Structure 1
Amino acid sequence: MEALFEILKQIPDPEIPVINIVELGIVREAKMMSENEAEITITPTYSACPAMFNIEEDIIKIFAEKGIKAKVITKISPIWTTDWITDEAREKLRAYGITPPEKGADKDHLDIPKKCPRCGFENTTQISRFGSTLCKASYQCNDCLEPFDYFKCH
């Protein structure tokens, strides 16, 4: 139901507050089970994503504020993919300093230079396979010298 997704769009990702959980593509399904009970299915971006607990609590809280009891189901199959990130969210990520992979990217080719979200050049170096969170890798631009995160593919 579109009304449920509109409520869910009010919940920012705890680790990347410039995008919401719908834009990130982790909300897989939202349906009303009865007049005051909803069922929300989410998929973590990474199997060990610690933010999922916060997201579940945020979902339950925001629906409770509207008089709706929310049941949250975490579904790990199919695994989340960066292809589920909306185009609008990709632009928000770039503006925030995180480079999302292009749609359709099969794997993390972390050794291939990534485009710097600040200056746009691909003269970049991987600093670490893990960035500020498990679902990101750390890079540095060799042109503007700014560090940035790259959202890994799954």
Structure 2
Amino acid sequence: MSQALEAARAALREVTDPEIPVVTIEELGILRELREDAGGVEVVITPTYSGCPAMDQIEDDVRAALARAGLQGRVSTRLAPAWTTDWITPAAREKLRAYGIAPPSHCAEGAKPLRFMPPRAQVAVACPRCGSTNTTEISRFGSTACKSLHRCLDCLEPFDHFKPY
């Protein structure tokens, strides 16, 4: 890996998700690829879903991180293959849990489409605060469209859950 790509990767390790500041875009799997050409470094990102309102802010944060590192660069968006929660690192899953967001389960056969109707058989979602699986979904859409709102029936705390897809 070239010195410019190494410097870019180091700079981008500091770029967090604007909606969940405890995890980086690298840990969430949003950062897809770094390339180098005559124009500098190209950073390839993939949104967590097609309507993600944070993507403009993420692009700005990536450009700012590259500039702070003294690098010329640009940001491009790749939509295919679509982002999947399977790209979230184990460390990020634990950070989400500690932050109060139940991390998604892994998809059994890779990426699955987002369902707008609840599946017939609900998978138990563990409360990120007390660990109980005695939880219920309050709303299919939580603080953002990629999360659902749940409540623990044991500790009575509400929490977000990343939808697996």
TM-score, length-scaled by structure 2: 0.86
Decide which of 5, 10, 15 is 2:14's aligned counterpart: 10
Structure 1 residues 68 and 2 mapped into 2: Cα distance closer, same or farther (>3 Å)?
closer
Which blocks of at least 5 consecutive residues in structure 2 are unaligned?
A: none
What's 1:49 paired with?
Answer: 52
What's 2:158 paired with?
Answer: 147
Matches within 5 A, 1:1-154: 1-34=5-38, 37-105=40-108, 107=112, 109=119, 111-154=122-165
How far 1:2 sits from its partner (Å)?
4.1
Measured in 2, the distance between the counterparts of 1:102 and 1:50 equals: 23
Number of residue pairs matched by the alignment: 153
SS of aligned partner of 2:28: coil
SS of aligned partner of 2:137: strand
Measured in 2, the distance between the counterparts of 1:43 and 1:22 equals: 11
Measured in 2, the distance between the counterparts of 1:65 and 1:3 equals: 10
Asked if the contact 1:113/1:126 (under 8 Å) is kept, the reply is no
Structure 1 residues 105 and 97 mapped into 2: Cα distance closer, same or farther (>3 Å)?
farther
How big is each residue's C-alpha offset from its partner over 1:59-82, in whole Å with a ceiling of 9 and x where there is no partner? Answer: 111111222222111111101011
TM-score, length-scaled by structure 1: 0.92
Measured in 1, the distance between the counterparts of 2:124 and 2:149 equals: 11
SS of aligned partner of 1:23: helix
Measured in 2, the distance between the counterparts of 1:129 and 1:111 equals: 12
Q: Which amino acid aligns with 2:151?
A: Q
Q: Which amino acid aligns with 2:142?
A: G
Which blocks of at least 5 consecutive residues in structure 1 are unaligned?
A: none
Asked if the contact 1:5/1:22 (under 8 Å) is kept, the reply is no
Percentage of identical aligned residues: 54
Measured in 1, the distance between the counterparts of 2:160 and 2:129 equals: 11
How big is each residue's C-alpha offset from its partner over 1:63-110, in whole Å with a ceiling of 9 and x where there is no partner? Answer: 112222221111111010111001100000000011112223455658
Measured in 2, the distance between the counterparts of 1:69 and 1:3 equals: 11
Measured in 2, the distance between the counterparts of 1:81 and 1:133 equals: 16
Asked if the contact 2:86/2:107 (under 8 Å) is kept, the reply is yes
